[in-house]
Amino acid sequence: MNPPKVVITDHSFASVATERVLVESAGGTLEIAQCKTEDEVIAAAAGAVALLVQWAPITERVLASLNGCRAVVRYGIGVDNIDLAAAKRLGVPVANVPDYCIDEVADHTLALAVSLGRQLGPTERRMRAGGWKITPPAPMPAFRDMHFVTLGFGRIGRAVLERARAFGFHLAAYDPLLPDEVFHHAGVQRVTLDDAFACADVLSVHLPLMAATRHLVSAPRLATMRPSALLVNTSRGGLVDTRALAAALTAGRLAGAGIDVFEEEPLPRDHPLLQCASALLTSHTAWYSEASVQSLQRLAAMEAVRGLRGEALKNQVNR
């Protein structure tokens, strides 16, 4: 009888030695592919008891082709490339890795917010161009007089606000799924969605992407923000209408934005955000550190091993 097979459908790691050791120690075999299409995934996944997936499309057609698969594990927090509804309907458990890179994303979020708030980009560009002034290019309030608001108060949202607390910001968050006690215990003001946009000096987005949250940060919502406000998104690209954001920045209706994630990646070279001097853009690197990569691979492989053994998944997202 052949040992159970775990398949990595695609990956961008330097090595998958960690996954191999964990899978083989559990009595399985590991096969590695670099799938980009449905057909490639279907061919590679044939007979697998578990899949480890980075970017490959796990569509309804792919899921329907699986026979006896006990786990589809996404390398990461977001599961945008997996049809969760189809997986639930077909009885295929799907898991993510929600408990890695919390510190890295929170650090990156604060780095963007602080850089924007202290106007490091425009000040540095002015100095390189020969300008020398001991005042910044635009009005600059003190952080202690600013409201730092998160949309979402989960693991990363809380870590972001704890870091913002050290800078003296007033802290607030919007999250309709949590009880009042969570906010009270954390010393964070609870606000409505409307108030989050209206009162924020820094608005940082930390929500899952779903039908109800796609383009939550829209042109009408941006119009309710203060012209001096800053927007940061290190969560999911589809949460922000980036063309509406570019229009607001260009018109001076928003002071700045720090964006690490985009609806289309890589960001198209003709995207209007690239022409916005007040936008600080990074290429989906908020999650990264050498330690977070190792943690991601280990935790994802451990989840796949649970599937291999027929155990309940720790972080199933489609119950």
Provide mean pLDDT across the span 42-54: 98
182 and 235 inside one domain: yes
Q: How many helices (H) and strands (E) in the chain?
A: 12, 12
133 and 13, same domain (yes or no): no
Strand 256-259 to 230-233 pairing = parallel
- Say whether both 38 and 138 belong to one domain: no
Do 68 and 121 share a domain, yes or no?
no
| Residue 245, in any domain of the structure | yes
Res 1 pLDDT > 80: no
**What is the percent of the chain where pLDDT is above 90?**
99
Tell me if 53 sits within 8 A of 32, measured CB to CB: no
| Assigned token pair, 52 | 């480890």
Location of structure tokens 């020398």:
132
Per-residue confidence band for 19, with pLDDT thresholds at 50, 70 and 90? very high
How far is CA 268 from its chain centroid? 19
Cα within 13 Å of Cα(214), Cβ side: 4
**Confidence band for 32, pLDDT divided at 50, 70 and 90:** very high
126 is catalytic: no
| Structural domain includes residue 66 | yes
Mean pLDDT of 84-107: 97
pLDDT digits (tens, 9 = 90+) for 141-167: 999 999 999 999 999 999 999 999 999
- What are 194's strand-pairing partners? none
**Torsion of Cα atoms, 34 then 40 then 43 then 44, to 10°:** 10
Q: pTM of the entire structure?
A: 0.93
Which residue is catalytic, options 190, 236, 303, 306? 236
Task: Give the residue among 137, 132, 196 at the shortest CA–CA distance from 161.
Answer: 196
Model confidence band, residue 119 (pLDDT cutoffs 50, 70, 90) = very high
DSSP 82: B
What average pLDDT does range 20-27 have in this prediction? 98
**pLDDT score of 169 more than 90:** yes
Please pick, among 284, 303, 309, 319, the residue that the annotation labels catalytic: 284
pLDDT above 80 (res 260)? yes
153 and 11 part of one domain: no
pLDDT number for residue 297: 98
As a whole number, mean pLDDT of residues 246-254 equals: 98
Rounded-to-integer distance, Cα 205 and Cα 90, Å: 32
Sheet harboring 48-53: ordered strands across?
29-32, 5-8, 48-53, 71-74, 94-95
Q: How many domains does the chain have?
A: 2
Which structural domain range is residue 255 located in? 102-281
| Catalytic pick among 24, 124, 264, 265 | 265
Nearest to 143 by CA among 121, 114, 109, 123: 114
| Distance of alpha carbon 225 from alpha carbon 24, whole angstroms | 53
Which H or E run contains 205? strand 202-205
Cis peptide before 266 (omega within 30 of 0): yes
Mean pLDDT, the chain, integer? 97
Is residue 186 assigned to a domain?
A: yes
Identify whether 284 is a catalytic site residue.
yes
CATH of the domain at 132: 3.40.50.720
**Confidence category of residue 281, pLDDT binned at 50, 70, 90:** very high
Query: Residue 240: beta bridge partners?
Result: 217
